Amino acid sequence: MDHSEFGRTLRRLRDHVTPSAVGVPIGPRRRATGLRREELAGLAGISADYLTRLEQGRATSPSAQVVEALVRALRVADADRELLYTLAGHAAPGADVVPTRIPPSVQRLLDRLADTPVAVLDAAGNLLVANPPYDALMGPVGALRGHERNTAWRHLVGPGSRAVHSAAERAVFEERIVADLRSTAARFPLDRQLRQLVRDLRAASPRFVALWESAAPATGDEPSRQKTIVHPTVGPIRVDCDTLVVGPEDLRIMAYTAEPGTPDAERLALAIVLGTQELVEER
């Protein structure tokens, strides 16, 4: 890895990204034309100190996940994405791994849904990005690392989510996430991170092993688009969860809404206001 060249390239890209292009509000006294370090760090989910060390060439060997997070936050073109990967000592992910690239068209769609809880997952169920309203509704996801960002891991090994299920609904949900993961693993047999996830799930979850080895498709009715989210302050909120699948990256865009004029819509709006206020205060 060329630490100095990686840092210089990162700084150049940061200086050429306007705040409005990435949804950062511009204050009246702003002098910087590009992104500030703390703004890029917040968008990428890393610390400002670590970003400073990367730009100054003092931090070594950023992971491929960090590089992709920076690429996503900067919304760079494919050529600059490949350059950053190369300078960091990595090969840009190819066709043999699960795509995690969020194309500009999808990012523009997310920008237009800035007031709606939205998350984007890859084909393996890994959470790629979530907006502040999603954090407000479902709990902050910025601190999640590694397998914690995977749907199957969170629900079969980890703490689950704020969505509540009956026993029957949970059984069908688990069948479906394992069936989807099995299908993705068959399509990307050379993806090392995906193979490691499957190995770790087999070691940690007997339920996963049983579902994986059954090799059976999910049974039962399609899960309802409606979900009940138990918010710690507002209480239960009944929402519609709609999933848009975007190809060829096979991304899953999940959006949570409530019928306008209903008590659930009021509770959802309150949860978003409370949550986003807390996020601003923390920053």
| 3 or 155, which is more confident | 155
The confidence score (pLDDT) of residue 29 equals 73
Longest distance between any two alpha carbons in the chain, whole Å: 61
Q: Is 171:154 a contact under the CB 8 Å cutoff?
A: no
30 bridge partner residues: none
Q: Domain 104-282 belongs to what architecture?
A: 2-Layer Sandwich (3.30)
Q: Where are the domains of the chain?
A: 3-87, 104-282
Task: Tell whether the model's pLDDT for residue 3 goes beyond 70.
Answer: no
Q: Looking at this protein, which amino acid is placed at residue 227? A: K
Task: Tell whether the model's pLDDT for residue 24 goes beyond 90.
Answer: no
Mean pLDDT across 160-179: 92
Q: Which spans in 113-247 are helix H?
A: 132-138, 151-156, 167-187, 192-204, 206-214
Task: Tell whether the model's pLDDT for residue 283 goes beyond 50.
Answer: no
Give the pair of three-digit tokens for residue 10: 């990162």
The confidence score (pLDDT) of residue 2 equals 59
Mean pLDDT across 28-38: 81
The confidence score (pLDDT) of residue 278 equals 60
Task: Tell whether the model's pLDDT for residue 267 goes beyond 60.
Answer: yes
Q: Domain 3-87 belongs to what architecture?
A: Orthogonal Bundle (1.10)
Q: Determine the Cα–Cα distance for residues 231 and 237; give it in Å rounded to an integer.
A: 7
Q: Among residues 64, 72, 16, which one has the least CA distance to residue 44?
A: 72
| 223 or 188, which is more confident | 188
Q: What strands, in cross-sheet order, belong to the sheet with 127-130?
A: 127-130, 118-121, 251-257, 235-246, 226-231, 163-164
Task: Tell whether the model's pLDDT for residue 38 goes beyond 80.
Answer: yes
Task: Tell whether the model's pLDDT for residue 104 goes beyond 90.
Answer: no
The confidence score (pLDDT) of residue 55 equals 93
Cα–chain center distance at 78: 20
Mean pLDDT across 61-88: 90
To the question of pTM greater than 0.85 for the whole model, the response is no
The confidence score (pLDDT) of residue 224 equals 58
Q: Is 103:249 a contact under the CB 8 Å cutoff?
A: yes
Q: Are strands 163-164 and 127-130 parallel, antiparallel or unpaired?
A: unpaired
Q: Among residues 201, 188, 134, 129, which one has the least CA distance to residue 161?
A: 134
Model pLDDT for residues 231-254, shown as the tens digit of each residue: 999 999 999 999 999 988 899 999
The confidence score (pLDDT) of residue 216 equals 65
Sign, CA torsion 282/84/22/143: negative
Q: Which of 139-143, 213-217, 235-239, 249-253 has the highest mean pLDDT?
A: 235-239
Angstrom distances, CA of residue 16 to CA of 22, 23, 28, 51, 104 = 12, 15, 20, 16, 16
Q: Determine the Cα–Cα distance for residues 100 and 82; give it in Å rounded to an integer.
A: 14
Task: Tell whether the model's pLDDT for residue 220 goes beyond 80.
Answer: no
pLDDT averaged over every residue in the chain: 88
